[in-house]
Structure 1
Amino acid sequence: MSASDARPGLSWSGTVDYGPGPLHTPRTVEELQQVVARAERIRALGTRHSFSRVAASDADLVSLAGLPEEIEVDTAARTVRVAAGVRYGTLALELARHGLALANTGSLPHISVAGASATGTHGSGDRNQALAASVRRVELVTASGDLLTLDRRVDADVFGGAVLALGALGVATHLTFDLVPAFDVRQRVYLELPAEEFGGAGLDAVLASAYSVSVFHHWDGTGAQIWVKQAVLEGDPGVVAGYPAVLAEAQSGHAVAAEPAGAVGIGRPDHALPVDADAPFPGTWHGARLAAGAVHPLPGLPGDFCTDQTGTPGPSHERLPHFRLEFTPSSGEEIQSEYYVPRAQIADALAAVMPLGERIRPLLHASEVRTVAADDLWLSPAHDRDSALVHFTWKQRPAEVEALLPEVEAALAPFSPRPHWGKVFTMPTEEVRAHYPRLADFRSLAERLDPGRKFRNEYVETYLF
């Protein structure tokens, strides 16, 4: 068994000290069971990309990075059982070899499947749910050191609380994901979305125009970059503007009709994207111009770190993330905040925050707008609500950011904002709790699985209990 007396260290951003430790690094599930059973209190660490203190603790910590990177693909069932510490980028490469894929990915392929699922990591797309919504089974080491498996179909009464659980139920060893047939995506980036399109119907149309869309901006009333990711399917017309029915069925369990390709903006030639996968993207779209080369969403960083932006179709795992697996996307010298608001109210929510723009910009690297489909996970910020996300990537000036966030949150208050669990926010505890109608059910589940409160930390106690 491997356990270190060294400090667990800092988060990827360098802004979160995880605690004094010790940090345990078991090499087998059996060793993990022994570590958990022996500990008075313990928290699990993933790849340390969270910006909040969701994983920090003054007690024992455990990393799953030393466990075998097991990936067991069932091509007939279209599922994969994967060890909790495996990174999404590693998983995607193995799935591609079997002709399969995850329905969606986050912007970073570098994060672990368990950590990302537990904290609500997401990608973008009006019909794309959070990554945890694709999990059909979770295997946990419980407080006693025993193994427990919870399945979406077998344990339907509690499964909504079992995956996106902030580590409060146990330490995940393996997750089983639903998969879809491998599919291609092509990506282009547009620059300088004008003010008249960065709001109202214009912004709604942009966000609904493709399988996945991200809009980066700097709170000056315009859009700096629009990342458009089109799903490419076999047959005519080849490109689907929204969510392919086969993928929607895999995620939701029932068929959803795909939107007609090119439906968004049909009445305006300059608002329509091509419906043929071989056709070039227009030079101007919604008043924005096509980028001449690869760009990075953060100023001053090279576009080479990012996924292909030429419009050439390629495997979904090479286009849906913003960043390539083989590169570190940035220096990590940043802080992130993110708030979920109702999808239909995103333009109004942005307008409400816009008067703070002059105070936001000096602290900002960039902001991003994305969309996420509703799910039934009890602690998901997208629980039972199609959502749009108001995201901030701040410069590493924590005191100034913390001082400004209450004003940002006050501006968003009319839109019932739900903060991302893995990012920085200052909303009062009761306001956060009020957004989760299944919180009492989650507490009951936690009391049943962890009556001694072994897996709690200050963060979990504050916002969940």
Structure 2
Amino acid sequence: MNRRTTNWAGNIGFTAERLHHPSTVAELQAVIARAERARALGSGHSFNAVADTPGALVSLAHLPRTMELDTAAGTVQAGAGVRYAELAQWLHERGRSLHNLGSLPHISVAGSCATATHGSGDANGSLATAVEGLELVTAEGDLVALSRAEHGTDFDGMVVALGALGVVTSMTLRTAPTFDVAQRVYDDLPLEALEDGFDAITGAAYSVSLFTAWREPVIDQVWVKHRVGDTLHEDAASGFFGARPADGPRHPVPGMAAQHCTEQLGAAGPWSERLPHFRPGSPPSSAGAELQAEYLLPRHAAVAALRALEPLRERIARVVQINEIRTVAADEQWLSPSYRQDTAAFHFTLVPDTAAVLPVLELIEERLAPFGAVPHWGKLFTVPPAALRERYSRLPDFAALARRFDPAGKFANAFLREHVLGDG
């Protein structure tokens, strides 16, 4: 029996016969080579069984936490166990940056990219869009290097891969010069403002997040992350499209203290300490006492989707802690929910009660289905596999890629066979 039986939230119990903690890549290769079935476990921040396996579950947390900057190429190679918080701080200290970070910087680089995890911003692609190369251990235990330069457009099927190709040991990410960000929070954005100018609101700064708890017909908070030196909406200092400036620091979840949140009130600071919602050096206040679901749909349909959810307001309010609405730029990643379309992401932080949450998710999915909404690969959802596969045009290409890398299906699990590979 493995020593770690659950994911971060505690809603998934892993079925693996053993949890392995290799401390070197060579040890990892040996574990994979002799395993009949295997899966990698990142920071455990998935809320479904995407990481589960009845075989060898492998934690990458004890692998060397390497970070190597190639100044000539403008890239950084980071070990798969490295988390975004430490990588971001390390890069900033060396005058470099990544284009974006997730709201929670405590998650691992490899796991986040493998599931198309994202931050926010009209012009900002998911975290995986920064990946230029990776190394992984294949089913035979071989260590192979993959890169955009060598594999061309096929590389777009190799990053958001859900662990189906092998166990990633490192990723090479594109970087840029470091930059500063000022963060402001605004209260009570009228819904009419979204009706009149959703694109103007989400495009007003480098990153904009809208939060609602569905208690009232209003956006409770707007988090505006403004890149210092860029033009900001002209009323941002005194108001934001009808929302008023917060009179103090805020936590996204109503009633929670803000000490774990990144600095607000317009104080400028490095990207590494402003793009996340939570401070890299401390855990979020929820500390795992939550479930999460997220659905991504075409950005132009965001307001219509909000209208479609309005009849569910009371049902949603009973189970949601907070709903965050963000935007993500289009990309070319085959399994990305933002494949060739700018998207709006509806992220739900929910009470830790699966029995109460799942029926509400079914209703949300029914309302969002006409907009072609797809769930985040690492969150809770009930979308039928057949419907999900219809919404990803490159799934056949990815399935072929997975068979090429792993013909015996060592890295395939029930989740992948059912939802992705189509042979469940």
Mapped to 1, the partners of 2:358 and 2:181 lie a distance apart of 38
**Which amino acid in structure 2 is aligned with residue 55 of structure 1?**
A
Which structure 2 residues correspond to residues 275-354 of structure 1 after superposition, within 5 A?
281-329=236-284, 330-354=286-310
Of 6, 12, 16, which residue of structure 1 is paired with 2:12? 16
Preserved CA contact (<8 Å) 2:97 2:175: yes
2:39 is aligned to: 43
> Given residue 211 of structure 1, which amino acid in structure 2 is its aligned partner?
Y
| 8 A Cα contact 1:8 1:19, kept in partner | no
Distance in 2 between residues matched to 1:364 and 1:94, nearest whole Å: 35
Does 2:418 match 1:427? no
- Give the match for residue 74 of structure 1: 70
* Counterpart position of 1:112: 108
Please state if 1:143 is matched with 2:139: yes
Find out whether 1:395 has 2:378 as its counterpart: no
Partners of 1:360 and 1:44 lie apart in 2 by 33
Q: Is the 8 A contact 1:211 1:240 kept in 2?
A: no
Q: Distance in 2 between matches of 1:426 and 1:53?
A: 12
1:204 aligns with 2:199: yes
Q: Which residue number corresponds to residue 27 of structure 2?
A: 31
CA shift for structure 1 position 76 = 2.2
Is the CA contact 1:7–1:21 (under 8 Å) kept in the aligned structure 2?
no
Residue in structure 1 matched with residue 318 of structure 2 by the alignment = 362
- Note the residue ranges of structure 1 that are not aligned, 5 or more in a row: 233-237, 242-261, 263-271, 274-280
Partner Cα separation in structure 1 for residue 176 and residue 99 of structure 2: 6
**% identical equivalent positions:** 49
Matched AA of 1:101: S
CA displacement at 1:130 relative to structure 2: 0.3
Give the Cα separation in 2 of the matches to 1:130 and 1:109. Answer: 14
Contact 1:8 1:20 in 2 (8 A): no
Q: Partner of 2:213 in structure 1?
A: 218
Cα deviation, residue 301, structure 1? 1.8
Counterpart contact for 2:273–2:279, Cα < 8 Å = yes
Task: Please tell me whether residue 464 in structure 1 is matched to residue 417 in structure 2.
Answer: no
* Structure 2 residue identity aligned to 1:149: A
Paired residue secondary structure (1:414): helix
Distance 1:205 1:335 in 2: 31
Q: 2:125, 2:83 → 1: CA distance?
A: 19
CA separation in 1, counterparts of 2:142 and 2:415? 25
- What letter is aligned with 2:391? H
Q: Is the 8 A contact 2:16 2:52 kept in 1?
A: no
Q: CA deviation at 1:282?
A: 2.2
Q: What is the alpha-carbon distance in structure 1 between the residues aligned to residue 217 and residue 183 of structure 2?
A: 24
Instruction: Report deviation, 1:283.
Output: 2.7
Choose which of 366, 378, 385 in structure 2 pairs with 1:410: 366
The structural deviation recorded for 1:285 is: 2.1
Partner of 2:397: 441
Distance in 1 between residues matched to 2:33 and 2:172, nearest whole Å: 24
Letter in 1 for 2:323: S
- The reply to whether residue 65 of structure 1 matches residue 21 of structure 2 is no
The CA distance in 2 between the partners of 1:389 and 1:59, in whole Å, is 34
CA contact (8 A) 1:80 1:178 kept: yes
What is the distance in 1 between the residues matched to 2:274 and 2:244? 20
1:154 is paired with a residue whose SS is helix
Deviation at 1:146, TM superposition (A): 0.4
- The CA deviation string for residues 115-165 of structure 1, in whole angstroms up to 9 with x for no partner, is 000011100000000000100001010000001111112101420110110
Q: How far apart, CA to CA, are the structure 1 residues paired with 2:4 and 2:25?
A: 20
- Rounded to whole Å, the distance in 1 between the matches of 2:407 and 2:16 is 25
One-letter identity of the residue aligned with 2:108: S
Structure 1 letter corresponding to 2:31: V
Q: Mark the CA change 1:331 to 1:157 in structure 2 (over 3 Å): closer, same or farther.
A: closer
Of 324-333 and 201-210, more deviation after overlay is shown by: 201-210
Structure 1 residue 27 displacement after superposition: 0.6
Please state whether the residue corresponding to 1:284 is helix, strand or coil: coil
TM-score by length of 1: 0.88
Residues 292-337 of structure 1 show CA distances to partners (whole Å, capped at 9, x for unaligned) of 1111001222111000102121110100000001111022111111
- Residue 239 of structure 1 is aligned with which of 208, 218, 230? 230
